[in-house]
Amino acid sequence: MGASNDSQSIRAKISWLDLHIQPTLSITLTLAAQPDNQFKCRSRVPSWHLKSYKHVRRDGNDLPTQGKFLIDKTKQFAVDGTKIPDVDFDVGESYAGLLPISNSSNETRQLYFWFWPSIQPEPPKEIVIWLNGGPGCSSLIGLIGENGPFTWMDGTYKPVPNAFDWRNLTNVLWVEQPVGVGYSQGNVSIKDEPGLAKQFIGFYEQFIKTFDVQGWDLYLNGESYAGVTFNDPILSDPATAQSITLKDFYLFHNNLYGYNTTTLVNLTTRHFDCGYDKYLEKYFTFPPPQEPFPILPTPFSKNPQIEKCDTYSLMAYASQFINPCFNIYRIIDHCPVPWSVLGPTDEGQYNPAPKTVFFNRTDVQKAINAPVGTAWIACSSKSVFVNETAGDESPPVAQTSVLTRVIEATNNVIIGSGNLDAQLSTNGTILSLQNITWNGHQGFKTYPSTHPFFVPYHPNGWNPGSRAGAGVVGSWGEERGLIFYQVRFAGHLLPADAPGAAYRVLEKLLGRIKSLDEPGPFTTQKDVKNSTMWTGGFLFKEDEGVPPIDGYEVERMVREGRNGTS
């Protein structure tokens, strides 16, 4: 995004945590508006990040009287961290409310934000911004379900402190954008991403003035359609983004679903008939041809000759027969679907336990300075663009130089993917990256999986209150200022499925660690005695950074060792 006079000093360093474009065509309109917020487990939470939480309630109606950012012009936004309904612990200092998207005295368009200062005694002068996708999904989804100070996991009784709260590292700002999302106010007026960027920059200028953060570093983070806002690498081409690589994705995961022969033959035949095999042979190479990739016809067409190439819809439909609760965003999910405190993200979405949505409650809205009476919904039921039929009219990113310029200016861009995501597969994202030129070369020269992605172990042992796995959780590669990483046991909402991995990525983005295979504890971890070794006989310090290999190969090695052979 560009900058105005008030934000020229902001040095933007951009991280994509599973940032992909969501094609707004045909069936994908609905799918793109349905984030997977299914957090099934609840149990104890490690205490190593939670030193600031106090399970107390203040008496009286007074707002906080002290805080890092509490000054006269921010008092109206102050939130009492002891009085958020159903949250029975003090979540600390925060500020929430509406700010206009311009300094015009008659401006009616406003974006809702919730700003949480870092709990570090002396945090650096930097702001991390988190955006969710959609388009039209609220960033409060991320706050309450992924990386905020507290999480309320689906199907669970109440919110709990989040051990992977990003405030442990720095100051974090969650923003509902563009106009038309969540609590934000005003009439929808944009037709594309440049219009959205203008809205956001206008809002952020007002935020800078209000909270006196002029000249602070800015780090942009998000997932899903937020990648469009940050200008991600996907071509706005559904064939490239989804269909081309799906044959191998579903064949690889057939051990989970056991598709019948007819389905697999149908899938493979379409793959060959549509020329996807030839396309991959030529362009899914490392390095790729140094030329623009051809954009294939969209498979979401009423033309029978083109529609047959829609392997995306074919396999989603087939999967639902086998698993009625098939979740295209995380294919290992199954029935029953747990209830969500966020409510349904789509009017037609199954809601197993209808009840008042948390952010629709009057007491909640009053507590967080939201406009009382707003019918809040996680993902807007109406288009956030003025042309409801065409949707986002932005040109394909591959036809612009925005991402190239961002990488070359910062040399600090991170893009990630969860391997359980069928909406936008890992290799589909990598294929699209091969069509982008940065720092003098097009694409990756080597498949970006050359290093193990290590996440520190939990100091308190098992962590069933979170989905945060530890150890070698995936792989990563880096070339010319761009990092790509993948996490095996994560889907579309990567910070929700793998919060420890997302936390580690943020540490890398902020410069707290040197690489994603760096051993040792989290930089904010206080108790490190068990962070690198467990005593259960299987996860020892010497295993750090060692990528997994084929299980049968391990068996062969053990057999040969027992027999004294090499």
pLDDT digits (tens, 9 = 90+) for 43-79: 223 333 333 333 333 344 556 667 789 999 999 999 9
The confidence score (pLDDT) of residue 213 equals: 96
Task: Quote the tokens at residue 566.
Answer: 């090499």
Which residue has better confidence, 430 or 179?
Answer: 430
DSSP 542: G
- Highest-confidence segment of 83-92, 132-141, 294-303, 531-540: 83-92
Residues 160-171 as b or e (16 or more Cβ within 10 Å = b): bbbbbbbbbbbb
Q: Give CA separation, 453 vs 117, 396, 497, in Å.
A: 29, 31, 15
The confidence score (pLDDT) of residue 535 equals: 36
- Highest-confidence segment of 136-145, 276-285, 387-396, 400-409: 276-285
**Is the pLDDT confidence value at 447 over 80?**
yes
pLDDT band at 549 (very low <50, low <70, confident <90, very high): low
Active-site positions read 224, 421, 492
The confidence score (pLDDT) of residue 194 equals: 76
DSSP 264: H
The confidence score (pLDDT) of residue 224 equals: 72
Question: In the chain, what percentage of residues exceed pLDDT 70?
Answer: 73
Q: Which of 181-185, 346-350, 390-394 has the lowest mean pLDDT?
A: 390-394
Nearest by Cα to 168 from 143, 144, 142, 148: 148
pLDDT band at 243 (very low <50, low <70, confident <90, very high): confident
| Sign, CA torsion 222/400/247/483 | negative
> Do the Cβ atoms of 280 and 244 come closer than 8 Å?
yes
Strands of 82-131 (E only): list them: 94-100, 110-116, 126-131
Q: Give CA separation, 1 vs 200, 220, 448, in Å.
A: 9, 10, 27
Across residues 250-260, what is the average pLDDT?
92
Residues 261-286 as b or e (16 or more Cβ within 10 Å = b): eebbebbeebbeebebeebbeebbee
Task: Quote the tokens at residue 19.
Answer: 């940032």
Nearest by Cα to 210 from 390, 350, 78, 22: 78
The confidence score (pLDDT) of residue 559 equals: 76
Nearest by Cα to 218 from 530, 55, 10: 10
**Is the pLDDT confidence value at 116 over 50?**
yes
pLDDT band at 82 (very low <50, low <70, confident <90, very high): very high
CA dist., res. 325 & res. 344, Å (int) = 15
**Is the pLDDT confidence value at 314 over 60?**
yes
pTM for the predicted model, two decimal places? 0.83
Contacts of 21 (CB under 8 A, 6+ apart): 225, 227, 228, 232, 234, 235, 236, 241, 397, 424
Across residues 248-258, what is the average pLDDT?
92
Across residues 157-184, what is the average pLDDT?
91
Contacts of 549 (CB under 8 A, 6+ apart): none
**Is the pLDDT confidence value at 320 over 50?**
yes
CA dist., res. 147 & res. 172, Å (int) = 10
**Is the pLDDT confidence value at 477 over 90?**
yes
Which residue has better confidence, 514 or 549?
Answer: 514
Q: DSSP per residue over 362-431, as a string?
A: HHHHHHTT--TT----SB-SS-SSS-TTT---PPPGGGSSHHHHHHHHHS-EEEEEETT-SSS-HHHHHH
Nearest by Cα to 189 from 179, 175, 177: 179
Domain extent listing, the chain: 238-335
Q: Give CA separation, 169 vs 51, 506, 510, in Å.
A: 13, 8, 9
pLDDT one-digit tens code per residue, 288-302: 999 999 888 777 767
Cα torsion 388, 390, 395, 398 to 10°: value is 110
**Three-state DSSP class for 479?**
strand
Q: What integer best gives the mean pLDDT of the chain?
A: 79
Give residue 18's region: left, alpha or beta (phi > 0; psi -120 to 50).
Answer: left
Question: In the chain, what percentage of residues exceed pLDDT 90?
Answer: 46
CA dist., res. 242 & res. 424, Å (int) = 6
The confidence score (pLDDT) of residue 399 equals: 56
The confidence score (pLDDT) of residue 346 equals: 63
- Highest-confidence segment of 100-109, 358-367, 466-475: 358-367
Across residues 473-486, what is the average pLDDT?
96
Beta bridge partners of 14: 220
- Highest-confidence segment of 273-287, 389-403, 533-547: 273-287
The one-letter code for the residue type at 165 is D
**Is the pLDDT confidence value at 504 over 70?**
yes
CA dist., res. 176 & res. 137, Å (int) = 8
